[in-house]
Amino acid sequence: MSNESETEVDEETADEEEQAEGLQKGDVVKLAYTARTVDGGQLVDTTDEAVAEEDGIDTEQQEFGPRTIVLGENHIFPDVEQDIYGKEVGDEGNVTVAAADAFGEYDEEEVRTVSKDKIPEDDRYPGAHVDIEGEHGHVETIIGGRARVDFNHPLAGEDVEYDYEILEEVTDREEKAQGIIQMMLDMELDVWFETDTVEEEQLVESEDDEDEDEESEPEYETVEVEKETLYIEATPQLTMNQQWMMGKQQIAQQLTQLLDIDRIIVQEEIGGGGMGMPGMMGGMGGAGGADIEDALEDADVDAEEIVEEIEGAEE
């Protein structure tokens, strides 16, 4: 019995070692792929501009090229990820994703009747895409004062076939950061890493804490700590990006986890003198910029005099 148990353990260990070979969760890769519906061959997504042109897609409205993804982060359908695990750069694959695991099964109950007043006048026609009370759908019919709207995803009920090729494993940190940001925001940004020394207030732990009065004020001391920082150059396109404006906190958290860094600073350059205006993503720590009042004092400038001069100029 003992020999049999040892053999089983050895086989399990060998299986685990075999499974660990090739690409695994957490690896960053560049993929080329094309996805189509199984029934009808409707183009769902592609990284190939030529394929998009053949299907009548306006290629001037979007950029095409390999996509950078982090395996295990649901950047693509889990079925496709599972097929990639264990493979190597240069390998290809074909995966059929069932409707339930792609865009969901078609649900008749998601076709609902609503007042046509909830639909903008310009969108009151069959086929129009509308947003109603936070839900996206398309208009099927409008009769009288009522509209029939389908809130299912346009590809609900469709199985999807993925053809992909693993082009590259991304190991350079800056390239990783750029690829992840491009995947999240669909834009290219300049990034760089630096290790900054910053001052932080830390609680002083006393050896006599147990004997001290519970109501006594905690003591803090200023210490210098090193912060691994990702700098992102701010651009007008970034400040106007809807995904960025609505989800910068979540994006920052994802980046700090995926890149194993301490904080992120979005830095804007004003003018041509190279003076940076660093702005920290909320929740990621201090930006290290000088306070305005402190800066005025250091420059020996009287703020009240500045106000008086401005008011005098206006008169």
In a domain, 284, yes or no: no
Position with higher pLDDT, 118 vs 305: 118
Q: Residue 15 corresponds to which tokens in the numbers above?
A: 């299986």
Statement to judge: residues 126 and 250 lie in one domain: no
Measured between alpha carbons, how far is 229 from 40 in angstroms, rounded to an integer? 48
- 230's enclosing H/E stretch is strand 220-233
| Shared-domain flag, residues 97 and 127 | no
One domain, residues 227 and 185: yes
37 and 164 assigned to the same domain = yes
Domain span including residue 115: 108-150
Instruction: Say how many domains are in the chain.
Output: 3
Domain at 186, CATH number: 3.30.70
> From the centroid of its chain, how far is CA 111?
31
Same domain, 34 and 67: yes
Q: Is residue 88 a contact partner of residue 190, using CB atoms and an 8 Å limit?
A: no
Q: What is the pLDDT of residue 183?
A: 82
Q: Is 162 among the domain residues?
A: yes
- Reported as a single tens digit per residue, the pLDDT across 241-292 is 888 888 888 888 888 888 888 889 888 776 654 444 444 443 344 334 444 4
Query: Higher-confidence residue: 177 or 275?
Result: 177
Domain match, 163 and 49 both: yes
The pLDDT assigned to 178 comes to 87
In a domain, 301, yes or no: no
Q: Is residue 278 part of a domain?
A: no
Whether residue 305 is predicted with pLDDT greater than 80 in this model: the reply is no
- Does 80 share its domain with 95? yes
Q: Would you say residue 90 has pLDDT above 50?
A: yes
The alpha-helical segments, DSSP class H, found in the chain are: 2-19, 49-54, 78-84, 173-185, 236-240, 242-259, 292-298, 303-314
56 and 42 belong to one structural domain: yes
162 & 242 share domain: no
Q: Are 176 and 170 contacting, i.e. CB atoms less than 8 angstroms apart?
A: yes
Q: Are residues 66 and 162 in the same domain?
A: yes
**Phi/psi of residue 127, each to 5°?**
95, -15
Residue bearing the bigger pLDDT, 46 or 301: 46
178 plus 246 within the same structural domain: yes
Look at residue 285 in the predicted model and tell me its pLDDT. Answer: 40
